[in-house]
C-alpha cells in the first residue's frame, strides 16, 4: 500500500466517535554517525535511529468532571527495521487512566516521575549523549500506577507505585515521586525513587536502591541553562552525579548546544560531553549535528588498575534529520 494512503486507512478503521479526540503523533529521527571506539580500536560509520516513534493519544469524555485518557506509543527503527525485541514496534509509554478535577490516575508502562522530572534539561536526549549513559534513574517502568495532582498554580505532584508482581523474599515494590514547578521561564523539580527499576525488572535484592534528583532550567533571553544533580544509593555504592547544559538560540532557526554529565553510578568516572547545533527548517523539522565524547575508567578485576584496553573512550560525530508530526 502506498504510504500516502496510510492516514485514510487509519481514518477508515477508527469509529467516528472515537476519532474525535485522537491525536496521532510521532517522530522520525535518523542520523549518519561516525564512531571512533577505544575497545577494539574500531572506527566505522553507521545509520542510527534515535528513538523514532509513533503514537496515538486521546480521551473520551465521561462527564464534565471526568474523562478517560489513553496513550499508545511505539518505537520503530528507521534504520534497521527491527528493535532489540526483533519486532518492528517496541512498546514505549502506554497507559490508560482517568482524569478529573481531583487529578489523574493512570496505569500501564511508562516513564517514572523521576525520569520525567528531567524535562528538557538533557539537550541530547535520545542521542548517544543521553544522560542515561552516565546517570541512573532513566526508568520506563512496567506495571506502574501513578497519581498526579491537578496543577496547583504552576506546581504539580506525581506519585507512582511500581508493582513487582512477586511474593518472594527480597522482591520489593517500587515507588517514585516528584514535585515540579514549571513555567516558560523557570523549571524546578525534585524527585525521588525507591526500587522502581528492581520492581519493574523483577530483580531480587536484600537492599533498597534509592535515587534522589533535583533539576533546574532557566530561560534567560535566547539562552536556556539547565542543571541536574542526582544521588544514587544501591547499598553498594552511594554516588553523586550531575549534568549541566546550555542552549543558545542564536536565531529562530539556529541553536548551539553544550552539555556535560559525570558520575560513578554506571561506570567509574563515567563522563559524557556533547556539543551540537540544530537548524530548524520548520516548526516540525530540523537538521542537526553533534560531537559527543563518552569516557570512563574501567578497572581490571584482578589488578584493580584502570584497564586502558577495556575502558570507554569513544567519540561520535553525526549529522541527522528529525521530523515531528
Partner 1 sequence: MKLKLVLLGVLLLSPLSFAAEKADCGLAIDEADKIVPDPNSDCDHTKTGLNGVLHRAFASKSSSKNSNDDSGAGNQSESRQSENPQPLLTKASDEKREISKDQKKLLISDEFSNAQELQLLKFNLLAKAAVNCAKGFSVDAERYLPTVNKNLKLELVYQCL
Nearer to partner 1, 46 or 154 (CB): 154
Q: If you write DSSP's letter for every residue of 282-313 in order, what string do you get?
A: SSSEEEEEEEEEEE--PBPTTT-SB-TTTS-E
- Which spans of this chain sit near partner 1 (rule: CB under 8 A)? 1-2, 4-5, 7-8, 10-12, 14, 16, 19, 22-27, 53, 55, 57, 59, 69, 71, 73, 93, 95, 99, 104, 106, 110-111, 116, 146, 148, 150-158, 175, 177-179, 181-186, 188, 190-194, 210-212, 283-284, 324-325
Report whether 223 contacts 185 (CB < 8 A): no
Backbone angles phi, psi at 116, to 5 degrees: -65, -25
Looking at the Cβ atoms of 187 and 316, the one nearer to partner 1 is 187
CB 290, CB 322: distance < 8 Å: no
Pick between residue 12 and residue 84 the one whose CB is nearest to partner 1.
12
Looking at the Cβ atoms of 15 and 169, the one nearer to partner 1 is 15
How many Cβ atoms from other residues are within 10 Å of residue 109's Cβ? Answer: 17
Select 27 or 311, whichever has its Cβ closest to partner 1. 27
Residue (14 or 35) nearer to partner 1, CB: 14
Least gap, CB of 39 to partner 1 (angstroms): 33
Which residue has 504510504 as its cell numbers?
Answer: 3
Kindly state the cell numbers that stand for 86: 526483533
Shortest reach from residue 305's CB to partner 1, in Å? 35
We find the least distance from the C-beta atom of residue 248 to partner 1, in angstroms, to be: 19
Taking the complex as a whole, the smallest distance from the CB of residue 245 to partner 1 amounts, in Å, to 17
Nearest distance in Å: CB 184, partner 1: 5
Residue 167 Cβ vs partner 1, minimum distance, rounded to whole Å:
23
- Minimum CB distance to partner 1 smaller for 77 or for 92: 92
Residues in the chain, overall count? 325
Q: How far is the CB of 309 from partner 1 (least distance, A)?
A: 38
| DSSP secondary structure code for residue 209 in this structure | -
Q: Under a CB-based contact definition with an 8 Å cutoff, are residues 178 and 189 in contact?
A: yes
Q: Where are the beta strands (DSSP E) in the chain?
A: 22-37, 42-49, 53-63, 66-75, 90-100, 103-111, 140-148, 155-162, 174-182, 186-194, 210-220, 223-233, 238-249, 254-263, 270-280, 285-295, 313-324
On whether the CB atoms of residues 188 and 215 are closer than 8 A, the answer is yes
Amino acid at each position: 500500500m502506498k504510504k500516502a494512503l496510510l492516514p485514510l486507512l487509519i481514518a477508515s478503521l477508527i469509529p467516528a466517535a472515537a476519532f474525535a479526540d485522537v491525536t496521532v503523533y510521532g517522530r522520525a529521527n535518523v542520523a549518519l554517525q561516525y564512531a571512533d571506539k577505544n575497545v577494539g580500536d574500531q572506527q566505522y560509520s553507521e545509520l542510527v535511529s534515535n528513538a523514532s516513534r509513533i503514537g496515538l493519544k486521546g480521551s473520551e469524555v465521561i462527564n464534565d468532571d471526568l474523562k478517560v485518557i489513553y496513550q499508545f506509543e511505539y518505537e520503530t527503527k528507521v534504520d534497521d527495521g527491527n528493535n532489540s525485541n526483533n519486532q518492528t514496534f517496541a512498546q514505549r509509554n502506554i497507559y490508560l487512566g482517568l482524569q478529573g478535577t481531583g487529578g489523574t490516575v493512570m496505569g500501564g508502562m511508562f516513564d517514572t516521575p523521576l525520569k520525567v522530572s528531567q524535562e528538557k534539561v538533557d539537550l541530547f536526549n535520545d542521542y548517544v549523549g543521553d544522560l542515561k549513559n552516565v546517570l541512573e534513574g532513566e526508568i520506563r517502568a512496567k506495571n506502574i500506577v501513578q497519581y498526579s495532582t491537578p496543577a496547583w498554580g504552576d506546581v504539580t505532584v506525581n506519585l507512582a507505585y511500581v508493582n513487582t508482581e512477586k511474593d518472594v523474599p527480597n522482591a520489593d515494590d517500587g515507588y517514585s515521586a516528584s514535585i515540579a514547578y514549571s513555567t516558560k521561564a523557570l523549571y524546578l523539580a525534585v524527585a525521588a525513587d525507591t526500587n522502581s527499576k528492581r520492581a519493574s525488572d523483577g530483580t531480587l535484592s536484600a537492599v533498597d536502591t534509592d535515587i534522589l534528583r533535583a533539576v533546574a532550567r532557566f530561560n534567560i533571553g535566547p539562552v536556556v541553562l539547565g542543571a541536574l544533580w542526582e544521588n544514587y544509593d544501591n547499598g553498594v555504592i552511594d554516588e553523586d552525579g550531575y549534568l549541566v547544559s546550555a542552549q543558545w538560540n542564536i536565531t529562530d532557526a539556529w541553536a548551539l548546544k553544550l552539555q556535560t554529565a559525570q558520575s560513578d553510578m554506571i561506570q567509574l568516572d563515567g563522563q559524557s560531553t556533547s556539543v551540537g547545533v540544530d537548524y530548524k527548517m520548520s516548526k516540525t523539522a530540523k537538521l542537526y549535528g553533534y560531537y559527543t565524547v563518552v569516557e570512563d575508567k574501567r578497572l581490571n578485576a584482578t589488578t584493580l588498575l584502570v584497564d586502558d584496553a577495556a575502558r570507554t573512550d569513544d567519540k561520535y560525530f553525526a549529522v541527522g534529520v528529525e521530523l515531528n508530526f
